Amino acid sequence: MTCLTSFPIAGSLPNHTDHTSRQLIENSVPFTGWPDAYVVLMLIAGNRAVMGSRVNGLTLSVLGWSTTALMFAAAAGLVLTWGQS
């Protein structure tokens, strides 16, 4: 839910501030969640003891873990390029 509210706000701010879009997106990362939260969510979603009959199937598990890996790669890229222009 935070992503749905923070990105549109961050996208409209360059028109009203002196910040660039990249600076605003970099600053909004803490509000969208860290990649380790996706690991916890995927472990919970794949646990039949927690989720019962609503546990993730193979397709959702592959998509979820792929998304988690992409989030870690994006976070690593952000950290490696922090402060570069």
Q: Give the residue extent of every domain in the chain.
A: 1-32, 34-85
For 39-57, how does the pLDDT look when each residue is reduced to its tens digit (9 = 90+)? 888 999 999 999 999 999 9
Kindly report the backbone phi and psi dihedral angles of residue 27, in degrees, each rounded to the nearest multiple of 5, phi listed first.
Answer: -75, -20
pLDDT at 64 over 90: yes
C-beta pairs of 34-39 under 8 Å, 24+ apart in sequence? 34/75, 35/68, 35/71, 35/72, 35/74, 35/75, 38/64, 38/67, 38/68, 38/71, 39/68
Q: Whole-prediction pTM value?
A: 0.59
Q: In the predicted model, what is the mean pLDDT of the chain?
A: 76
pLDDT, residue 80, reads 86
Tell me 17's DSSP state: S
Distance CA(9)–CA(11), nearest Å, equals 5
